[in-house]
């Protein structure tokens, strides 16, 4: 593995403090961070982790939202599931690979996908894998126990014996349990908690008691704000209750949800969250990289850590900025990404 040196304004440590430095990477590890004499005009961020996707939906980009949410996405006969069943496997694999490559070009080097289609669905996303991006595959209908799967990903909780048994089997196998809850209402929140999940996705309609319980039980919460707004499950900056979740000490991660409706663009997700929910740049970036913990990894820039980096051209804006991280997340966008490094390997680079 080649040694790499990168100079720029890096956002270091868990508090993402900006410093003009030269990073040295040896054998995939950041071995030295030294002050740099000159500013290279680049910003160096930890790479992103998209903590909730459905990339099989890539086969149906920008499907009109012309019916209730349940009719669009709920199994087994929501529109997306009909489309997925009708899609040839080779087209499905090609489409999923396209979304992985799209994520890489925007500085995302990991994602967690709730994979439909049982064992065949898990096999398909495994076949689609692109080098350099870590995938946490959460299967269902038997896919959750396959070797390639990191665990169970349920659409919703309904107190069905099959769901309870699947969650118990996943836990017994040492795998994750993730479940959607509180997206379109509150009826599925308590059944979701009863499964003792590791992850709850959406939490759009969480109440104070739900927030407290998630914090007390150390259940990670994955928010998908652009999807929630686009699909009409919220029109309020209070739903999901981002500030309350953070203040309660919940682990909160960021995802983009269904690719058929929302692009898997983490810069866009960060900018939306900061604009609508008024999160700080540091809080937002923490949510955008925190999902790496689902893969047993981290994405912070520190000596001794694996090098997972998103390098952006600042186009002269940094010299005018009073908050460099805010500039990076809300003004530059994925078009500014010029280099992406995953475990010390350059997986994307443009001049």
pLDDT per residue as tens digits for the range 225-257: 999 999 999 999 999 999 999 999 999 999 999
According to the model, what pLDDT value does residue 37 have? 84
Do 179 and 157 form a contact (C-beta atoms < 8 A)? yes
According to the model, what pLDDT value does residue 232 have? 94
pLDDT higher than 90, residue 2: no
Q: What's the CATH code of the domain at 20?
A: 2.30.40.10
What's the domain count of the chain? 2
What is the tens place of the pLDDT at every residue in 14-69?
999 999 999 999 999 999 999 998 877 899 999 999 999 999 999 999 999 999 88
Residue 23 to residue 208: CA distance in whole angstroms: 43
Instruction: Report residue 7: phi and psi, to 5°.
Output: -115, 140
What is the tens place of the pLDDT at every residue in 113-155?
999 999 999 999 999 999 999 999 999 999 999 999 999 999 9
Looking at the fold, whether 109 and 257 belong to one and the same domain comes out as yes
Q: Supply 90's token pair.
A: 């080779």
Range of the structural domain that residue 193 is part of? 48-295
According to the model, what pLDDT value does residue 22 have? 96
What is the tens place of the pLDDT at every residue in 287-344?
999 999 999 998 899 999 999 999 999 888 888 889 999 999 999 999 999 999 999 9
Burial of 163 (C-beta count, 10 Å sphere; 0-12/13-18/19+)? buried
Residue after which a domain boundary falls, among 295, 321, 340: 295
- Stretch 72-89: mean pLDDT, rounded? 92
Looking at the fold, whether 94 and 147 belong to one and the same domain comes out as yes
Looking at the fold, whether 253 and 212 belong to one and the same domain comes out as yes
Looking at the fold, whether 60 and 39 belong to one and the same domain comes out as no
Looking at the fold, whether 16 and 93 belong to one and the same domain comes out as no
According to the model, what pLDDT value does residue 69 have? 85
Q: What's the CATH code of the domain at 150?
A: 3.20.20.140
Beta bridge partners of 18: 11
Looking at the fold, whether 264 and 149 belong to one and the same domain comes out as yes
According to the model, what pLDDT value does residue 91 have? 97
Looking at the fold, whether 20 and 73 belong to one and the same domain comes out as no
Confidence (pTM): 0.97
Looking at the fold, whether 154 and 271 belong to one and the same domain comes out as yes
Residue after which a domain boundary falls, among 255, 277, 295: 295
Instruction: Report residue 31: phi and psi, to 5°.
Output: -100, -20
Looking at the fold, whether 35 and 148 belong to one and the same domain comes out as no
Residue after which a domain boundary falls, among 295, 314, 341: 295
According to the model, what pLDDT value does residue 59 have? 96
Looking at the fold, whether 35 and 155 belong to one and the same domain comes out as no
* Chain mean pLDDT for the chain: 95
According to the model, what pLDDT value does residue 1 have? 62
Looking at the fold, whether 208 and 272 belong to one and the same domain comes out as yes
What's the pLDDT band for 178 if we cut at 50, 70, 90? very high
Residue 195 to residue 165: CA distance in whole angstroms: 9
Looking at the fold, whether 287 and 199 belong to one and the same domain comes out as yes
User: What b/e string do you get for 19-47 counting C-beta neighbours within 10 Å, with b at 16 or more?
Assistant: ebbbbbbeebebeebeebeeebbbbbbbb
């Amino acid at each position: 593995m080649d040694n790499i040196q990168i100079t720029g304004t890096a956002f270091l440590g868990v508090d993402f403090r900006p410093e003009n430095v030269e990073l040295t990477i040896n054998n995939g590890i950041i071995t030295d961070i030294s002050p740099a004499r000159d500013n290279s005009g680049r910003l160096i961020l930890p790479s992103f982790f998209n903590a909730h996707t459905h990339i099989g939906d890539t086969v149906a980009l920008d499907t009109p939202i012309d019916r209730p949410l349940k009719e669009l996405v709920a199994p087994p006969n929501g529109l997306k599931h009909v489309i997925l069943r009708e899609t040839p496997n080779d087209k499905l694999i090609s489409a999923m690979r396209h979304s992985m490559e799209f994520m890489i070009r925007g500085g995302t080097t990991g994602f967690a996908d709730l994979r439909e289609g049982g064992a065949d669905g898990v096999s398909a996303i495994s076949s689609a894998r692109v080098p350099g991006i870590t995938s946490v595959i959460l299967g269902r209908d038997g896919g959750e126990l396959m070797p390639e799967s990191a665990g169970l990903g349920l659409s919703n909780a309904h107190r069905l014996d099959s769901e309870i048994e699947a969650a118990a089997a996943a836990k017994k196998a040492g795998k994750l349990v993730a479940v959607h809850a509180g997206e379109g209402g509150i009826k599925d929140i308590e059944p979701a908690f009863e499964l003792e999940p590791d992850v709850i996705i959406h939490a759009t309609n969480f109440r104070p008691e739900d927030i407290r319980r998630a914090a007390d039980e150390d259940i990670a919460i994955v928010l998908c704000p652009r999807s929630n707004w686009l699909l009409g499950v919220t029109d309020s900056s209070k739903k999901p209750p981002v500030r309350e979740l953070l203040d309660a000490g919940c682990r909160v991660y960021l995802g983009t949800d269904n690719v058929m409706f929302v692009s898997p663009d983490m810069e866009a997700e960060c900018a939306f969250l900061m604009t609508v929910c008024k999160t700080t740049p540091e809080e937002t970036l923490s949510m955008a990289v925190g999902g790496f913990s689902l893969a047993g990894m981290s994405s912070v820039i520190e000596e001794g850590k694996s090098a997972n980096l998103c390098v952006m051209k600042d186009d002269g804006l940094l010299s005018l900025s009073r908050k460099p991280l805010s500039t990076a997340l809300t003004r530059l966008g994925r078009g500014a990404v010029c280099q992406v490094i995953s475990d010390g390997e350059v997986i994307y680079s443009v001049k």
